[in-house]
């Protein structure tokens, strides 16, 4: 595939959507996009994207045969797809990067294929917006194998770590597994730093030692300095991860799987959100241990 001649649709340009746009534009793709927030559309245009008036105009572009979605939740995905589905030609592929309910992804994919011969890949992203821009995220993809193969080159622009994990809904399920570990890694790092502070140890030195020890996790690279320096400029918002943890707990209840650490994690995140910090970076979970005036 000649990437420079490929046009891709994008609906939703929040932190992750904007990062995906930037990544695709770096590779010379033409990106036609829409967000209901005019400021986000202006930022997208400044990057080199082609902003259009609405979601229907994204898929109406003659050269667009695939459209990425980066939306808040499964309900919004369903609403947007209803707006565009009757305009989609046979063979069109929707690539949904939203962290949502696996059953909703599965049902939507089945309906689109039966009614319109349109594929939906649930291609969920593991990693922050900054990791996406740098090509350090991972993609776990659910959907028909033929659709995955057809879009493999595009998915490879977003990440060189792309996993086809099964039929529709599988990508969304794997994302919940990945997010369970990522979120708890952040919380464990925050608690370790809190103990170091109680011992009056230097936090930068503590972080360096943790990175060199068997305790290492990538959360230390991505969020460690943000916690130590109280830099909570968002790469991925705490409120979004709280939503994800609730999806994780809901999935556990459906499968009769107890998740006691995730239940505690939800309470910690809710406490931080109740303090008005939900729009900050998810590293702000450290505030469950560090009071604002103690950093």
Judge if 152 and 68 occupy the same domain: yes
Which residues have CB under 8 Å from 83's CB, separation 6+?
54, 55, 56
Q: Do the beta carbons of residue 82 and residue 109 sit within 8 Å?
A: no
Confidence label for 208 from pLDDT (cuts 50, 70 and 90): very high
Instruction: Summarize pLDDT for 265-294 with one digit per residue, the tens.
Output: 999 999 999 999 999 999 999 999 987 544
156 and 44 in a single domain? The answer is yes
We report the CATH number of the domain holding residue 37 as 3.40.50.720
Rounded Cα–Cα distance for residues 184 and 202 (Å)? 23
Helix, strand, or coil (residue 30): strand
Asked if 36 and 160 sit in the same domain, the reply is yes
Q: Is the pLDDT of residue 205 over 90?
A: yes
Is residue 153 over pLDDT 60?
yes
Place of tokens 């695939």: 66
63: confidence class by pLDDT, cuts 50, 70, 90: confident
Q: How confident is the model at residue 61 (pLDDT cuts 50, 70, 90)?
A: confident
Helix axes 102-116, 74-84, angle to 10 degrees: 10
The domain boundary, picked from 110, 133, 167, lies at 167
Tokens standing for residue 266: 């939800």
Number of domains in the chain: 2
Query: Which run of H or of E encompasses 68?
Result: strand 64-69
pLDDT at residue 172 is higher than 50: yes
What pLDDT, in 10s, does the model give residues 84-134?
999 999 999 999 999 999 999 999 999 999 999 999 999 999 988 999 999
């Amino acid at each position: 595939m000649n990437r420079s001649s490929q046009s891709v649709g994008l609906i939703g340009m929040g932190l992750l959507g904007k990062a995906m746009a930037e990544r695709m534009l770096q590779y010379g793709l033409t990106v036609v996009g829409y967000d209901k927030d005019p400021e986000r559309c202006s930022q997208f245009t400044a990057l080199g994207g082609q902003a259009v008036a609405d979601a229907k105009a994204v898929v109406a572009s003659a050269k667009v045969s695939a459209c990425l979605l980066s939306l808040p939740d499964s309900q919004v995905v369903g609403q947007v797809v209803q707006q565009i589905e009757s305009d989609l030609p046979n063979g069109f592929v929707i690539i949904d990067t939203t962290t949502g309910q696996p059953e909703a992804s599965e049902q939507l994919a089945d309906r689109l294929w039966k009614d319109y011969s349109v594929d939906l890949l649930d291609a969920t992203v593991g990693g922050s917006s900054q990791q996406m821009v740098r090509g350090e995220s991972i993609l776990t993809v659910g959907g028909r194998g033929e659709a995955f193969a057809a879009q493999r080159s595009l998915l490879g622009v977003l990440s060189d770590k792309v996993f086809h994990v099964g039929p529709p809904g599988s990508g969304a399920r794997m994302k919940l597994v990945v997010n369970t570990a990522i979120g708890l890694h952040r919380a464990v790092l925050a608690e370790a730093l809190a103990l170091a502070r109680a011992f009056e140890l230097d936090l930068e030195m503590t972080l360096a030692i943790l990175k060199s020890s068997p305790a290492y996790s990538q959360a230390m690279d991505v969020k460690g300095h943000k916690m130590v320096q109280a830099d909570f400029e968002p790469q991925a918002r705490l409120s979004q991860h709280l939503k994800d943890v609730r999806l994780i707990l809901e999935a556990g209840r459906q499968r009769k799987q107890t998740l006691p650490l995730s239940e505690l994690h939800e309470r910690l995140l809710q406490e931080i959100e109740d303090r008005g910090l939900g729009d900050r970076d998810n590293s702000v979970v450290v505030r469950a241990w560090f009071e604002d005036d103690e950093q």
